[in-house]
Amino acid sequence: MFVLTGVSSAQTYDTTFTANLNNDDILDRVKVSYIEDSTKRGADGCYEIDINGIKIIDSANADPYFEAEIHDIDKNDMFEELFVKVGMNDYNNYNVYRFDGKRIINLGIVSSLNEINVFGNGKIEAMEWMGFWYYDYEYIFNPSAQNFDVKKNDLYDVKTYSEEFDNPPIIVETPFVVYTDRVENASEKFKTKADEKIKILKAYIKVSCPDEYTNMCVWYLIENSKGVQGWVKLKDFMEKVHGIPWAG
Ligand SMILES: [Ca+2]
Ligand SMILES: [Ca+2]
């Protein structure tokens, strides 16, 4: 992988470099430009991807402060791919493109907390940030559809992002009900007690949350001070405890 910083002057916001993107012994001239929308202020423009004079316009994630990277998604095919990266608060979005010699193909968007890992086996490892913990998941390249399938688990162990910093315990302020199962209308398993120390063990992320931010409906497996476990949605306990190491 190599990286080129895409910011040059106040007006142009472009980067030009050469790379062989289709294994044909001919270096390809790659130019990525951010084009400002003069009718708007801020990051509302688009990218122009120009490879050997063949151009496409893409408005997804358009931001003047981008970086261009070349990664090889699959070492067993003839292509190397262009990733245009925009990072905000350590969370990165990548627009991914392939050049087949005649066309530039938009392969879609890959997102991750921190940097992605591209192993060259068709899989890209990414991380999702959940406010106080993260999980790993994969983008799997689909060569026939020329896009990515996202592979996530339904259930993850909750390891807090900064657990090496010895976070304070999570303490109940206002008692809340914990349920036997992670379904609507599950029966009550126990009710936490004020000043009780609890642990957050697992999260079930395969949820929909029609009226709110999806993460609010994620089910968490909680363990009380007696070692009894049950499920509760984030929105039903997050403001009733203190000590969750929220960040970002
Ligand atoms: Ca080439
Ligand atoms: Ca390849």
Question: What does the pLDDT look like over 63-97, one tens digit per residue?
Answer: 999 999 999 999 999 999 999 999 877 899 999 99
Asked if residue 101 and residue 11 are part of one domain, the reply reads yes
Asked if residue 175 and residue 148 are part of one domain, the reply reads no
In a domain, 247, yes or no: no
Domain boundary (101, 133, 152) is at 152
Asked if residue 95 and residue 58 are part of one domain, the reply reads yes
Ligand closest to 74 (CA) is 2
As given in the structure block, the two tokens for residue 135 are 């999980």
Q: Does the structure show a pLDDT above 90 at 161?
A: no
Q: Looking at 6-15, 63-72, 208-217, which range is the least confident one?
A: 6-15
Asked if residue 217 and residue 141 are part of one domain, the reply reads no
In a domain, 157, yes or no: no
For the chain, the average pLDDT equals: 91
Give 21's pLDDT tier (boundaries 50, 70, 90).
Answer: very high
Phi, psi of 164, rounded to the nearest 5 degrees: -70, -15
Asked if residue 110 and residue 175 are part of one domain, the reply reads no
| CA–CA separation, 143 and 131 (whole Å) | 33
Give 103's pLDDT tier (boundaries 50, 70, 90).
Answer: very high
Asked if residue 186 and residue 98 are part of one domain, the reply reads no
In a domain, 33, yes or no: yes
Asked if residue 18 and residue 127 are part of one domain, the reply reads yes
5 CA distance to ligand 2 middle (Å): 23
Ligand closest to 51 (CA) is 1
Asked if residue 190 and residue 113 are part of one domain, the reply reads no
Asked if residue 171 and residue 90 are part of one domain, the reply reads no
| CA–CA separation, 153 and 137 (whole Å) | 7
In a domain, 108, yes or no: yes
Query: What average pLDDT does this structure show over 193-209?
Result: 96
Query: What average pLDDT does this structure show over 182-209?
Result: 96
Asked if residue 134 and residue 76 are part of one domain, the reply reads yes
Domain boundary (152, 173, 191) is at 152
Asked if residue 199 and residue 89 are part of one domain, the reply reads no
Domain boundary (152, 182, 211) is at 152
Ligand closest to 20 (CA) is 1
Asked if residue 167 and residue 215 are part of one domain, the reply reads yes
198 to each of 106, 127, 176, how far by Cα in Å?
Answer: 46, 26, 12
Place of tokens 């976070």: 167
Q: What is the CATH number of the domain that holds 229?
A: 2.30.30.40
User: How many CB atoms are located within 10 Å of the residue 122 CB?
Assistant: 18
26 CA distance to ligand 2 middle (Å): 16
81 CA distance to ligand 1 middle (Å): 12
Q: Does the structure show a pLDDT above 50 at 225?
A: yes
pLDDT computed for residue 38 by the predictor: 72
50 CA distance to ligand 1 middle (Å): 13
Domain limits for position 225: 163-242
Number of domains within the chain: 2
List all residues 6 or more positions away from 16 whose beta carbon is below 8 Å from its beta carbon.
29, 30, 31, 32
In a domain, 248, yes or no: no
pLDDT 10s digits, 33-62: 999 877 766 657 899 999 999 999 999 999
With 0-12 / 13-18 / 19 or more C-beta atoms within 10 angstroms meaning exposed / middle / buried, residue 89 is exposed
